[in-house]
């Protein structure tokens, strides 16, 4: 990657978002860089902590570019807002309408969406040869737009989207239907009915996070005919993952997406492949004290 003002084997990157002190991203990226003999400094730009808001996005992006940063990750709540301050989008980011990685190169800032890549890898590795023709997804927010995009690219034929904010499910279904006209993508009405006919379930709501305990679907809808993917990763063993295991479902926890998106972002920042197995070891060794 072309950088101004930083040595060629040294990378300055960061994360833009709110309340991101517990992020594993600095650890994942810095460990991988160290293992490859690179120097990489990953800074957290916590807008909540700094008292900044959305209006500060262009100023912060410009400051990073001035300092020669290779790029940055972007998280909640700026994945859409950042788009207006970029020079272009990758096909995935354009399709999702959200950016989680920005690369500064050749005088331009280009937005990417490695959440799509990360969840695609999680699916490919996690469901093996199991059927994935009919899938239910709960949660149609920022991350849900990326997981739904990855599901459609994986070959899902029928996708039913649910969200407590029905308008979000309807809007995402309409957007995806336009992009994948051969598939049937709907905003679902009956979750038990949709799950009874499904091969897989994806949780893209925050339900199951330590601060939001509980299940996003009724427990009695889970059975061995379903594979279940949860993208929540703090904790990894969510109530949904635990209950699904108990009921005989194949499960994919949130770590595979988190590692896949970080690995793809690492490659965008440095131009070098990331070792997924090594990144998983880093993910697993993340000290709980850092996540507190």
Minimum distance, C-beta of residue 78 to ligand NAD, in the bound complex (Å): 11
Helix 276-285 / helix 255-270 crossing angle, nearest 10 deg? 120
Considering only CA atoms, which of 47, 40, 6 is closest in space to residue 26?
40
Minimum distance, C-beta of residue 205 to ligand NAD, in the bound complex (Å): 4
- CB nearer to ligand NAD: pick between 3 and 149: 149
Q: Which residues bind ligand NAD (CB under 6 A)?
A: 76, 115, 118, 138-144, 162-165, 168, 204-207, 209, 216, 231-233, 254, 257-258, 261
Minimum distance, C-beta of residue 145 to ligand NAD, in the bound complex (Å): 8
Minimum distance, C-beta of residue 92 to ligand NAD, in the bound complex (Å): 14
> Which SS3 state, helix, strand or coil, does residue 285 take?
helix
Cβ contact 169:163 at 8 Å: yes
- CB nearer to ligand NAD: pick between 163 and 199: 163
Told to judge if 211 belongs to the known catalytic residues of this protein, a careful annotator would answer no
- CB nearer to ligand NAD: pick between 65 and 152: 152
Of 29, 79, 168, 175, which residue is the catalytic one?
Answer: 79
- CB nearer to ligand NAD: pick between 62 and 281: 281
Q: Which two tokens stand for residue 234?
A: 């703090």
The residue number whose beta carbon is nearest to ligand NAD equals 141
Q: Is 190 exposed, middle or buried (0-12, 13-18, 19+ CB in 10 A)?
A: exposed
Q: Which two tokens stand for residue 43?
A: 């800074």
Residue with tokens 């994935």: 132
Minimum distance, C-beta of residue 266 to ligand NAD, in the bound complex (Å): 14
Tell me the sheet residues that pair with 134.
Answer: 158
- CB nearer to ligand NAD: pick between 4 and 167: 167
Strands lying side by side in the sheet with 39-46 = 39-46, 10-17, 71-74, 101-105, 108-112, 88-89
Active site residues: 79
């Amino acid at each position: 990657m072309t950088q101004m003002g930083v040595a060629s084997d040294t990378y300055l990157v960061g994360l833009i978002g709110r309340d991101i002190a517990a992020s594993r991203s600095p650890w994942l990226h810095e460990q991988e860089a160290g293992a490859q003999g690179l120097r990489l400094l990953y800074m957290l730009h916590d807008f909540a902590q700094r008292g900044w808001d959305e209006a500060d996005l262009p100023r912060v992006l410009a400051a990073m570019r001035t300092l020669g940063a290779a790029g940055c990750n972007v998280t909640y709540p700026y994945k859409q807002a950042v788009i207006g301050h970029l020079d272009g989008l990758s096909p995935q980011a354009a399709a999702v309408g959200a950016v989680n990685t920005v690369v500064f190169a050749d005088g331009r800032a280009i937005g990417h969406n490695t959440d799509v890549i990360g969840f695609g890898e999680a699916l490919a590795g996690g469901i093996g040869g199991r059927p994935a023709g009919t899938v239910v997804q709960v949660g149609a927010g920022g991350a849900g737009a990326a997981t739904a995009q990855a599901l459609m690219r994986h070959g899902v034929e029928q996708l039913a989207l649910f969200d407590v904010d029905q308008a979000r499910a309807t809007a995402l279904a309409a957007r995806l239907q336009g992009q994948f006209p051969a598939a049937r993508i709907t905003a679902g009405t009956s979750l038990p009915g949709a799950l009874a006919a499904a091969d897989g379930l994806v949780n893209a709501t925050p339900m199951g996070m330590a601060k939001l305990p509980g299940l996003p679907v009724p427990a009695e809808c889970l059975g061995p005919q379903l594979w279940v993917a949860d993208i929540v990763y703090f904790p990894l063993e969510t109530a949904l993952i635990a209950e699904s295991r108990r009921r005989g479902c194949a499960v994919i926890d949130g770590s595979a997406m988190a590692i896949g998106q970080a690995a793809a972002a690492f490659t965008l920042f440095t131009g070098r492949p990331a070792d997924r197995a090594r990144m998983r070891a880093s993910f697993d060794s993340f000290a709980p004290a850092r996540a507190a």
